[in-house]
Structure 1
């Protein structure tokens, strides 16, 4: 009898142990979860503990196995991994929120009036700065001339940057401070002249000669810029941003703010290749934790197509005497590539024109020497000659592109390239097929920060008015699955972060977003209107 009693007690304890649920910090259930794992599986629930996904499974499994004081009933909503923007200027976007917004302005006269209004709001600033103008939106479609700025601001330096950041117009005061004259000659830059005198328009490296005279912002202003940028990014579902081109001081600030907890945004930082930066990071080596990855250098190969600074193999269709230009010599690019490779860093190079892409792809080939896992990247890969595209596969080079560039440029890109060469531009499907992946970003503030605009542009190849019908060069559109991977797991892979993020899987950081409408099935024309209902970072709601 005692033996039976003991057996019953043992069974009771066993049943209690079996029924005891494991503790979790958060349970999310009753939705459709796109895991973006290797099989692109779907689930309905998951549990989170210590900032990571504990298990991803069915509602029944998760609710029976885990308990938590924090539970979210999705009520049929949709979940995706936290979105990663593979190419941004996050810090510059934050600082730019305080300068004159010149995007979408339809004439230079209107631009000057906007700058005047901005000056009234900020009368004490030593410099007047602005960003976002695009001469392709103006009736004459030509670069401006500074006389109106000289008249409006004779004693205050003005520097207004084009939408792509590769051209700017300065007034005479700013030109004087930068030492710019008709005789100025700069490697990788150009001073636009008219009747032998500077018009005020500066291309690429020539901008630096003026912008270097702008006083540095205060540390408090820099901190606020990062926080402002973070808030706006969380609101649209971004949990990781790739900041393309930072100095050590800014990277140090980002790291310190992450450590204190004020900056939660995860950052993959590309380093500016200054001598000072190289000396520090070559000695320190690549660095990564859950919030920050520092293992690459951002190199500028050429300028932009819109300002005719992109380096082309044949002259511009609408400017037969211009080829654009590289921003450095091939010899210097090769030396830099060898240096970066020797110290174990990625080389991530801005290449727009087909000549720049060919030059840098061939330099990569000399250094990488065949198949590898170095994950060197070509940023933008905008115009690639058909003879060069296979080099991405041969040397495992990752294309990092921005789908909204195609839908922003499509109105005038053929003017620059001509009917035949335009077919070799914005070839996202062809690029993706080389290695079976592509990293997608926005290049904000050049484009809008909303990643769903890029998702729509990648699959529909249309603008915000769903034009043109059928899409711009639709043969190079991506599928929805490919586009989502490009914004999550493939972007993580391009960052050497796929073990940390990019999919909803056990052990990875619990970064995810929730939407009411399904990105994978909603009509294409509605995709840009879909709102992110909530953004979670490490299981914590941040928006």
Structure 2
């Protein structure tokens, strides 16, 4: 079933020399449920026309305009990253990235070097510090940053982007910031204070800088075999100009499809029309119900293990219900950012109340979505299934912060931390999963994301590689209402990637991770070996809508 929000076509200009050519790929492995032994594929007019064996491919020789010799490479559907912040990703790729800083001193040294190398920047921007991973567990002070920048404006977002440290000069650009919730004299800013300084910092980014950053992020995405990204924008994340410029760039230049979400509450038809006018498919994405665990702003039922409070609630169940009901009536997809268990409960209660008003069938058909959905219980998982909610999740979060010694355990204690990100339970209950990165919170890394889900730090939450791959390909299309895409079968959009990989394995159907089978009699198309330590596949080519948008230079 296709929801009313589903984008039905690609509005980008088409190049007849690429999108409309008939191409035969042969001599490799094609990952397709249409034929688990496929070694060839025909693409015609932007769609998959045929999948089959090498010998049968000769029948297409007369009508083919181009033959691609795969030389043993693997062809799969292109990945969909279901949660991206494109401009911020590009600014991190091209600017100050502190995700590798191992200590506070290293981070300050990188800030000093970046400031010296960019003397003309009106505001210095950086991302990725994580004091929870540093020996002294302390973020840089304002005085330390003032010294490192020579007194210039600086904005440094924490890795989860729900708090930031800034310099005095940046605070001076935001009148009244000290009176806003979330302000602290010499500690990371959260809540409204953080939103205000972030807006001031990003207002200094010129249109030319923004375009360069967006182009860098989109080019990086296709170099990793990502054919679609879901841009999660909104008034508290990026401006309308940023959002509309990104959608325009994606239409005008070869690259990944960009599906836009605008996270603003909808109260009626006028609000819904604004969402559509911006080019968004839904009023969803990062519409914040709460914050993040790392910044102590995720909203919990019980206090944090390392703080005497329960975090921050931005929306309650009544606000959720109002938004979902209005979006459902308008034929728009709704969605929320919810991480803590109290926030997830507010979403579930609100969506259920909306269903009582508009009808459960209509709510389910709209495929409303929840971003992150980390702290779930059996009851809220069952409610997701009942209400038809899609869980848009980020397995790399567990890889980065999970485990008994990780940030989750610091914030919640070991027992509560072990309940986080229960992907296996979601799948068993029938909840649709769509995988993403939340880049730049974690990097664009699709095979690494699938590996993180298959080797979750809590074994009970692990899913098969095949299930993880499906969530990162077909799952992203289903999340926007498309059931006919994200898989290589005749009639599907020709969005695919070609990979160099060492070996293909078939996971035994009754095994989560530990035992592997290469027996072709299983009838299951093989996927790369993602066991820890194995080399991840290298993308050789990415094709979107039949158009080649990336070719590895050394191939």
How far did residue 177 of structure 1 move? Answer: 2.3
How far did residue 88 of structure 1 move? Answer: 1.3
| Whole-angstrom distance in 1 between the partners of 2:347 and 2:535 | 34
2:31 is matched with which residue: 1, 22, 34?
34
The CA RMSD over aligned residues, in Å, is 2.5
SS in 1 for 2:295: coil
How far did residue 281 of structure 1 move? Answer: 4.7
Q: How does 1:142-541 map to 2 (within 5 A)?
A: 142-153=138-149, 155-179=151-175, 184-186=179-181, 190-192=182-184, 198-214=185-201, 215-246=203-234, 247-260=239-252, 262-273=253-264, 279=270, 281-282=272-273, 285=276, 294-298=281-285, 299-319=287-307, 321-369=308-356, 370-371=360-361, 372-410=364-402, 411-435=406-430, 437-461=432-456, 472-499=457-484, 501-517=485-501, 518=503, 520-522=527-529, 524-527=531-534, 529-541=536-548
| Whole-angstrom distance in 2 between the partners of 1:208 and 1:275 | 20
Is the 1:51–1:510 contact (alpha carbons within 8 Å) kept by the matching residues of 2?
Answer: yes
Off by >6 Å, runs of 4+ in structure 1? 274-278
Is the 1:311–1:323 contact (alpha carbons within 8 Å) kept by the matching residues of 2?
Answer: yes
Aligned position for 2:77:
81
How far did residue 431 of structure 1 move? Answer: 1.4
User: Which structure has the larger Rg over C-alpha atoms?
Assistant: 1
| Whole-angstrom distance in 1 between the partners of 2:196 and 2:176 | 8
Unaligned runs of 5+ in 2: 1-19, 505-526, 551-555
Shift in CA distance, 506/523, structure 1 to aligned 2, threshold 3 Å: closer
Shift in CA distance, 137/277, structure 1 to aligned 2, threshold 3 Å: farther
How far did residue 216 of structure 1 move? Answer: 4.4
| Whole-angstrom distance in 2 between the partners of 1:365 and 1:170 | 40
How far did residue 180 of structure 1 move? Answer: 5.2
How far did residue 24 of structure 1 move? Answer: 5.8
Encode CA deviations 1:217-255: one digit per residue, 9 max, x unaligned: 333322222211121111111010111115543343234
| Whole-angstrom distance in 2 between the partners of 1:120 and 1:275 | 45
| Whole-angstrom distance in 2 between the partners of 1:277 and 1:525 | 49
How far did residue 435 of structure 1 move? Answer: 2.0
SS in 2 for 1:391: helix
Shift in CA distance, 99/280, structure 1 to aligned 2, threshold 3 Å: farther
Is the 1:25–1:50 contact (alpha carbons within 8 Å) kept by the matching residues of 2?
Answer: yes
| Whole-angstrom distance in 2 between the partners of 1:171 and 1:524 | 43
Shift in CA distance, 269/523, structure 1 to aligned 2, threshold 3 Å: closer
SS in 2 for 1:213: helix
Unaligned runs of 5+ in 1: 1-22, 193-197, 462-471
Count of residue correspondences: 493
Aligned position for 2:93:
97
Shift in CA distance, 474/266, structure 1 to aligned 2, threshold 3 Å: same
SS in 2 for 1:201: coil
Using structure 1 for the length normalisation, give the TM-score.
Answer: 0.85
